[in-house]
Structure 1
Amino acid sequence: MNRRDAIKNVALLLGSAISASTLAALEGCKSSAPKNYALEAPETKSILAEIAETIIPETDTPGAKAAKVDEFIVLMMNDCYEQKDQQVLLDGLKKIDEASQQQYKKPFTELTAEEKTAVLTAVDKERVAYNKRENKQPEDGPHYFQLIKELTLLGYFTSEPGATKALRYVAVPGKYEGCIPYKEGEKAWAM
């Protein structure tokens, strides 16, 4: 099984939390896609790491930073997404930083956890409104926060810390057990 198929399978395990645009990007994944070096910039990776950690913070399990989700997002954007989507993400990161500057007079990376959550909650409300609007055009791409959230989930739950610490992991190949009891509150399975 190649990585693309594994990621699609994880998307199904996540309850199809991955949008059609992300799945389409996986279909078109090419290692020869032109790199967007702005995505490789330390300040870009830094804000991506903080956003991802706000989405999946460290608790009794490792957070998104420990899983290096920022590096995953950069890799996926460079290898699998078109330049217009890469630009949507970069512009979105600027908008998040501008929103934190406007609200707290500090860059996003310097905010407290509560302030980061407040900024991202407002951005997520904007994303929901964007997705619900009635005058959508086919050429309208996904909202930048949709890309970030989906790639954060995908990166985290396909990482070693996410699959082994946040989920219950069974190495494959293993024996097939078609019926495993599940108790409410238990971790979901990763394969």
Structure 2
Amino acid sequence: MAMNRRDALKSVMVMMGGTMVGSTAILTGCAPEQQIEGLNFSPEDIAFLDEIGDTIIPETDTPGAKATGIGAFMVMMVKDTYDAEQQKTFVDGLNSIRKDFKSTKGSDFVEASAEDRLAYLNGMYEQYKSSKGEDAKVINMLRDLTVLGYFSSEIGATQALNYVEVPGRFDPCIPWNEGDKAYAI
């Protein structure tokens, strides 16, 4: 049985308590009233988002976020569920990351080593925790979108999580051992 991505997204949002940016649009099924018209992302933007996602969830014994097409997922979520202010924050944040990374590290984010990318994003996250400023909000958006997209994808749900196809039998006492995968929704 194939997973229905829309139902999986709604389930994840309900479990998260609707705390993610754009959650109202997902839960109600309605697009926000105020959105940026003609908002487009280039293939280079999607590749950039793929690399950011793969830095947040890298390939280990399971495929990383890039393998799920996380860049295209982020673009879809920003275009379909974010309001104009959130979209502007996201786009401005991406442009800021590009510019700041290049001036700080001397290379493009996509061409940099995984260690440099991770150090930069961790620094952004520390800034987010301490300042809560507009510029720092984008790291929270990127993190939330990456986690949501990865774990609601087929790869994330079946390879990174313990996926049990539904409907299944009810078993209230499932043994769990340290190191076992969490169950997918």
SS where residue 50 of structure 1 aligns? helix
What is the CA deviation profile of residues 95-118 of structure 1, one whole-angstrom value per residue up to 9, with x for unaligned ones? Answer: 111221122111111110001011
* Contact in 1 for aligned 2:161/2:181 (Cα 8 Å): yes
- Look up the match of 2:83: 82
Q: Which runs of 5+ in 2 are unaligned?
A: none
Shift of the 12–59 alpha-carbon distance from structure 1 to 2, 3 Å rule, reads farther
The correspondence of residues 103-182 of structure 1 with structure 2, limited to 5 A, is 103-131=104-132, 143-182=137-176
CA RMSD, Structure 1 to Structure 2 (Å): 2.8
Shift of the 84–50 alpha-carbon distance from structure 1 to 2, 3 Å rule, reads same
Deviation at 1:70, TM superposition (A): 1.0
Provide the C-alpha distance between the structure 1 equivalents of 2:82 and 2:165, rounded to a whole number of angstroms: 30
Shift of the 2–142 alpha-carbon distance from structure 1 to 2, 3 Å rule, reads farther
Shift of the 17–122 alpha-carbon distance from structure 1 to 2, 3 Å rule, reads farther
Q: Which runs of 5+ in 1 are unaligned?
A: 134-139
Q: Which amino acid aligns with 1:129?
A: S
* Contact in 2 for aligned 1:19/1:150 (Cα 8 Å): no
Deviation at 1:75, TM superposition (A): 0.7
Provide the C-alpha distance between the structure 2 equivalents of 1:64 and 1:86, rounded to a whole number of angstroms: 22
Q: State the identity as a percent.
A: 38
TM-score, normalised by the number of residues in structure 1: 0.83
- Look up the match of 1:137: none
Deviation at 1:18, TM superposition (A): 6.5
Provide the C-alpha distance between the structure 2 equivalents of 1:142 and 1:111, rounded to a whole number of angstroms: 21
Provide the C-alpha distance between the structure 2 equivalents of 1:125 and 1:141, rounded to a whole number of angstroms: 12
SS where residue 67 of structure 2 aligns? coil
- Look up the match of 2:24: 24
TM-score, normalised by the number of residues in structure 2: 0.85
Shift of the 31–24 alpha-carbon distance from structure 1 to 2, 3 Å rule, reads closer
